[in-house]
């Protein structure tokens, strides 16, 4: 992409914000053309007739919100680069826009320098997120790391996994361990929760993959 001729779309339902952002963009050298859309539907129609490199997309809008508009726009132009704009730092909004395919996320209190930096970075194929959102990504990484950790199992839980591997039913396991069938079902429920498995087959696969049981 030729960074000296970027065509930018501003999609926001607040006219005063759009005009102010357009004024700021007009002072950025790499921006060549700017057009506006007042909501997602308006943007999708204009996208079909306008050359567009980067979109600055609000999230909450009438008719079609930013999440839906992002998905639709990328169906029309898969290489389009979209940067989300929001006043909110809600995890759900951030994740929804990331899932939709945005390449950046900016809080609306940005200044010209940050906007210039974000547009330049995204235009060059990278991603850019406001510093205010770093906490979200740190939390996301920590959560993923926790998901990847192998949970600790009690001796009884390991026994039950081994007996499940050997094809025994709840009743047979209960008889072998001298406990009630309800106790066995309770242990299995805890094991499924710990491992995020959906059934006994998944649990056995998890146990074998992570060498929890000896076979």
The CATH number given to whatever domain includes residue 30 is 3.40.50.2300
**Number of compact structural domains in the chain:** 2
Pick from 86, 77, 82: which is nearest to 99 by CA? 82
Q: Among 93, 118, 143, where does a domain finish?
A: 143
Say if residue 96 is in the same domain as residue 167. no
DSSP reduced 3-state for 99: helix
pLDDT band (50, 70, 90) for residue 136:
low
- Helix H or strand E segment including 73: helix 66-76
Beta-bridge partner residues of 31: 6
| Dihedral, CA of residue 100, residue 102, residue 108 and residue 109, to nearest 10 | 140
The answer on pLDDT for 26 being more than 50 is: yes
- What integer is the mean pLDDT of 164-186? 90
Q: Among 117, 143, 169, where does a domain finish?
A: 143
The reported pTM is 0.64
Backbone dihedral angles phi then psi of residue 2, each to the nearest 5 degrees: -85, 105
Say if residue 49 is in the same domain as residue 116. yes
Say if residue 96 is in the same domain as residue 169. no
Per-residue confidence (pLDDT) for residue 2, from 0 to 100: 45
pLDDT in tens, 4-22: 689 999 999 999 999 999 9
pLDDT in tens, 63-84: 899 999 999 999 999 999 999 9
For 65, which DSSP code?
-
**150: Cβ–Cβ under 8 A, 6 or more apart, which residues?**
210, 212
Say if residue 32 is in the same domain as residue 128. yes
Does residue 87 lie in a domain region?
A: yes
DSSP state string for 116-182: HHHHHHHHTT--EE-GGGHHHHHHHHHHHHHHHSPPP--HHHHHHHHHHHTT--HHHHHHHHTS-HH
Does residue 149 lie in a domain region?
A: no
Say if residue 39 is in the same domain as residue 99. yes
Domain with 169, as residue range(s), is: 155-209
Residue 184: give its domain's CATH number: 1.10.10.10
pLDDT band (50, 70, 90) for residue 213:
confident
């Amino acid at each position: 992409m030729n960074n000296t001729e970027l065509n930018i779309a501003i999609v926001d339902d607040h006219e005063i914000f759009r005009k102010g952002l357009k004024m700021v963009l007009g002072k950025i050298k790499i921006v060549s053309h700017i057009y506006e859309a007042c909501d997602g539907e308006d943007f999708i129609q204009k996208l079909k007739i306008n050359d567009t490199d980067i979109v600055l997309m609000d999230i909450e809008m009438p008719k079609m919100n930013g999440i839906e508009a992002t998905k639709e726009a990328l169906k029309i132009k898969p290489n389009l680069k979209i940067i989300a704009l929001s006043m909110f730092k809600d995890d759900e909004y951030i994740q929804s826009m990331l899932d939709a395919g945005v390449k950046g996320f900016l809080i609306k209190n940005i200044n010209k320098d940050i906007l210039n930096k974000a547009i330049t970075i995204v235009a060059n194929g990278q991603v850019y997120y406001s510093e205010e959102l770093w906490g979200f990504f740190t939390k996301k990484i920590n959560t993923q790391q926790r998901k990847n950790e192998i949970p600790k199992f009690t001796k009884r839980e390991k026994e039950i996994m081994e007996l499940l591997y050997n094809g025994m039913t709840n009743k047979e396991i209960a008889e072998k361990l001298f406990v009630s069938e309800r106790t066995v079902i309770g242990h299995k429920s805890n094991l499924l929760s710990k491992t995020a498995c959906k059934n006994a087959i998944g649990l056995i696969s998890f146990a074998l993959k992570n060498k929890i049981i000896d076979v």
